[in-house]
Amino acid sequence: MSAARWNPRDLPDQGGRVFLVTGANAGLGYFSCEQLARAGAHVVMSGRHPNRLAAARAALVRRVPGASVETMLLDTSNLGSIRAAAASIGARERLDGLLLNAGVVHPPAQRKVTADRNEVVFATNVLGHFALAGSLLAPLARAGGGRMVWLGSMATSLWRFDPADPQLVEGYTPWRAYVQSKVATQLLGFEADRRLRDAGMPVQSVVAHPGYSVSGRTVGIRGVNEPTLKSRFVGNLQAAVTQSKEHGAWVPVRALLDPAAESGSFWGPTLVSRGVPRPAVAAGVSRDRERAARLWDFCEETAAIHWP
Ligand SMILES: NC(=O)c1ccc[n+]([C@@H]2O[C@H](COP(=O)([O-])OP(=O)(O)OC[C@H]3O[C@@H](n4cnc5c(N)ncnc54)[C@H](OP(=O)(O)O)[C@@H]3O)[C@@H](O)[C@H]2O)c1
């Protein structure tokens, strides 16, 4: 299938390929798993809560008969949990794709820290994924060009990034924590591409944003997506600029699978907030090499993970 003719409803066969998805029990992560499994891939659905994971796995197997899936506990805000999951996946023969999707999308009103003493939004959305991806380079390389995909956001155009204070010790607000975490995610995704190329590693790094994908416009699935009447109403009121999470997942799935998606590229929906996936233009701040280098050093030190 050529790049221009990509059809998210008819994906290339993924038989024999293995993918790990974080935050797989709900939202974009869940629907990405469905789409990958429907294309024949083996999918490792990871999440932080066993019951929520079990419900999501049951739903997926019901909706995609014959799907090849397993579940894995992985809390991206917890560096110990990352190490345990990375040890398990790292021992496998290959990993073709890693979808760094899990996210706190409604940050707490007041700044909170994790057991590792990191700010919770930064820890969940950024640091955990940086540590996980850095720990899984070997199985990605063994797949011969395995790919990691980072979940950015169109909100990155709305705020700069302060490399002196990635964990918002000063001036925390929920909105700022979220947007800053997404700028940081994009910075790391593009920096990972440069470093992997420089090191000559056969691993790719791609960044994707899913537009504006809401639960209220998404099919109801018990234990996975159970929107309130209010969110259905609001979602439909905003129909001109929103899409379902199922359609939002089209973007990261294309970023993972399309052979024409180059390492270092950025993908988003055609109409910015909705539509089929196509190459997009990333906010300038997230392409800034100096900010990226400072953030990279900070993450390596804070997570105690050094990418080879
Ligand atoms: N939806 C959009 O319009 C949009 C736009 C731009 C970017 N994004 C990005 O896309 C990603 C997914 O968003 P979404 O809309 O699908 O959100 P969502 O429906 O709220 O799902 C978030 C997922 O992340 C998981 N998660 C949260 N904290 C976690 C942790 N500490 N460890 C492991 N998993 C954790 C959640 O699990 P629990 O059920 O256990 O909480 C859930 O499975 C996020 O990174 C978000 O920033 C979304």
Give me the residues paired with residue 68 across strands.
Answer: 42
Which residue among 105, 118, 158, 186 has the greatest number of ligand 1 atoms within 8 angstroms of its CB, and so is best to mutate?
105
158 near 179, Cβ under 8 Å?
Answer: yes
pLDDT at 4: 64
Look at the chain and report how many structural domains it folds into: 1
Residue 264 to residue 268: CA distance in whole angstroms:
14
Nearest protein CA to atom 43 of ligand 1, as residue = 23
Q: How many C-beta atoms surround the C-beta of residue 33 within 10 A? A: 31
Taking residues 171-193, report their average pLDDT: 96
CB within 8 A of 203, min separation 6: which ones?
137, 140, 141, 145, 146, 147, 148, 196
| pLDDT above 80 (res 308) | no
Taking residues 86-90, report their average pLDDT: 96
| pLDDT above 90 (res 5) | no
Parent domain of 283? 15-215+245-303
Percent of the chain residues past pLDDT 90, beyond the cut = 95
pLDDT at 25: 98
pLDDT at 201: 97
| CATH code where residue 275 lies | 3.40.50.720
Q: Which atom of ligand 1 is nearest to the CA of 29?
A: 16
Is 237 within the bounds of a domain?
A: no
- Ligand 1 near 78 CB (within 6 A): no
Q: Is 178 assigned a catalytic role?
A: yes
Identify the helix (H) or strand (E) that includes residue 149: strand 146-151
Q: In this structure, is the dihedral angle defined by the CA atoms of residues 37, 43, 46 and 52, taken in order, positive or negative?
A: positive
pLDDT at 163: 83
Is 32 within the bounds of a domain?
A: yes
Is 2 within the bounds of a domain?
A: no
- Ligand 1 near 235 CB (within 6 A): no
pLDDT at 158: 86
Is 62 within the bounds of a domain?
A: yes
Residue 55 to residue 66: CA distance in whole angstroms:
17
Nearest protein CA to atom 47 of ligand 1, as residue = 103
Taking residues 181-195, report their average pLDDT: 98
- Ligand 1 near 242 CB (within 6 A): no
- Ligand 1 near 268 CB (within 6 A): no
Mean pLDDT computed over every residue of the chain: 96
Taking residues 267-272, report their average pLDDT: 96
Burial 153-190 (b: 16+ CB within 10 A, else e): bbbbeebebebeebbbeeebeeeebbbbbbbbbbbbbb
| pLDDT above 60 (res 1) | no
pLDDT at 271: 94
In which residue are the tokens 């909100």 written? 155
Taking residues 272-294, report their average pLDDT: 96
278 Cα–ligand 1 center, Å: 22
Q: What is the distance, to the nearest Å, from the Cα of residue 99 to the centroid of all Cα atoms in its chain?
A: 5
Q: CA nearest 101: which of 226, 222, 251?
A: 251
The pLDDT tens digits of the residues spanning 245-261 come to 999 999 999 999 999 99
Is 108 within the bounds of a domain?
A: yes
pLDDT at 161: 81
Is 258 within the bounds of a domain?
A: yes
159 near 176, Cβ under 8 Å?
Answer: yes
CB within 8 A of 282, min separation 6: which ones?
152, 156, 186, 190, 207, 266
- Ligand 1 near 153 CB (within 6 A): yes
Is 25 within the bounds of a domain?
A: yes
pTM over 0.85: yes
| pLDDT above 80 (res 218) | yes
Is 78 within the bounds of a domain?
A: yes
The pLDDT tens digits of the residues spanning 27-51 come to 999 999 999 999 999 999 999 999 9
